[in-house]
Amino acid sequence: MKIDIYTHILTEKYARRYVEKASKVAGSVEFRNKAVIDLEMRFRLMDRHPDILQVLTVANPPLDVWLSPEDSAELAKIANDELAELVLKYPDRFYTAAACVPMNNIEAALLEAERAITQLGLKGIQIGTRVKGEPLDLPGFRPLYARMAAFNLPIWIHPVINEKLDQDTGVFSWPFETAMAMYHLVTSGIFYEHPEIKFITHHCGSMASFFAKRIKWTMSAARKDRIGQDAEEHFRKFYNDTAVYGNTDALMCGYAFFGVDRLLFGTDTPLGGKFGITYETLRSVERMAIPEPEKEKIFIENAENLLRLAI
């Protein structure tokens, strides 16, 4: 068995309600991808790899992009109820799910994270790299990070479009957004405040591993405080998926920087599903020049340990 830590879905009622509240969202890539919404199509894609269990995350765009704080809170509850139902109904398909939280309504986000984890049994939350264009180090978000640290469950981070950047369908802007989210979290001192807090990045930690030495020397020189001196080690504390579209060299770079215990199999399915994204990601991990037991860690054991579930 393998666990795909990062797969995307738009549940039926949630998607319908989102379009009712903000019709423009129907034009987004995720809403136009039938496999993200159509469960039967998803199952047909999954049948190609019957040994893979999926962890579900709600697909972009985040609620705060289009909705009011009140509507965001309403839709987050709808999404999480549906996610929990899917996990219970299809245990041979879905391992667990990350809860949707309304980041533009932090009081509601705290309540919904609590409900989703303690009542629905979900195993973490997902947030975007920015909230209404603002970075993740704002003081108002700290209570949610503290709550998740207390739960000892991860926070998935997914890149979102920054309207001030060139619109390149996420080719370079999304990795940049992920790297900047990591930067803001590190320099905010979150890993001092909560040493065991757990974040999962998409696309293998973005640019962090490639620019490891730049992080070490530039941040140490530019920042005279303790954060600057420890920045490289704090960047290493992120967990990261393998969704680099079959690029084994990129995985080896991530492996060298983060270590095997911080890598988890994740594919970005079903986005790009018809192009064999799951197959290519599988092969990219299998081609890694590492011991077979370490590949097992990436494929299954790290996810089991992080989410505190066993198959």
- Cα angle 169, 173, 178 (rounded to 5 degrees) comes to 120
Assess contact for 158 and 128: CB atoms under 8 A.
yes
Interval 242-288: pLDDT, tens: 999 999 999 999 999 999 999 999 999 998 655 689 999 999 999 99
The pLDDT of residue 106 is 98
The pLDDT of residue 220 is 74
Q: How far apart are CA 157 and CA 109, in angstroms?
A: 15
* HEC profile of the chain: CEEEEEEEECCHHHHHHHHHHCHHHHHCHHHHCHHHHCHHHHHHHHCCCCCEEEEEEECCCCHHHHCCHHHHHHHHHHHHHHHHHHHHHCCCCEEEECEECCCCCHHHHHHHHHHHHHCCCCCCEEEECCECCECCCCHHHHHHHHHHHHHCCCEEEECCCCCCCCCCCCCCHHHHHHHHHHHHHHHCCHHHHCCCCCEEECCCCCCCCCCHHHHHHHHHHHCCCHHHHHHHHHHCCCEEECCCCCCHHHHHHHHHHHCHHHEECCCCCCCCHHHCHHHHHHHHHHCCCCCHHHHHHHHHHHHHHHHCCCC
What is the pLDDT averaged over residues 139-145? 98
Q: How far apart are CA 215 and CA 172, in angstroms?
A: 19
Predicted TM-score (pTM) above 0.95: yes
Residue 73 burial by CB count (10 A; 0-12/13-18/19+): exposed, middle or buried? buried
The pLDDT of residue 159 is 96
The pLDDT of residue 222 is 59
Domain around 123: 2-307
Total domains present in the chain:
1
What lies within 8 Å, CB to CB, of 168 at 6+ separation is none
The pLDDT of residue 49 is 95
**What's the Cα-to-Cα distance from 23 to each of 16, 36, 192, 246, rounded to whole Å?**
10, 18, 42, 35
Assess contact for 251 and 263: CB atoms under 8 A.
yes
- Cα angle 83, 194, 99 (rounded to 5 degrees) comes to 5
| Mean pLDDT value across the chain | 94
Stretch among 107-116, 131-140, 206-215, 273-282 having the lowest mean pLDDT: 273-282
- Tell me the CATH number at 20: 3.20.20.140
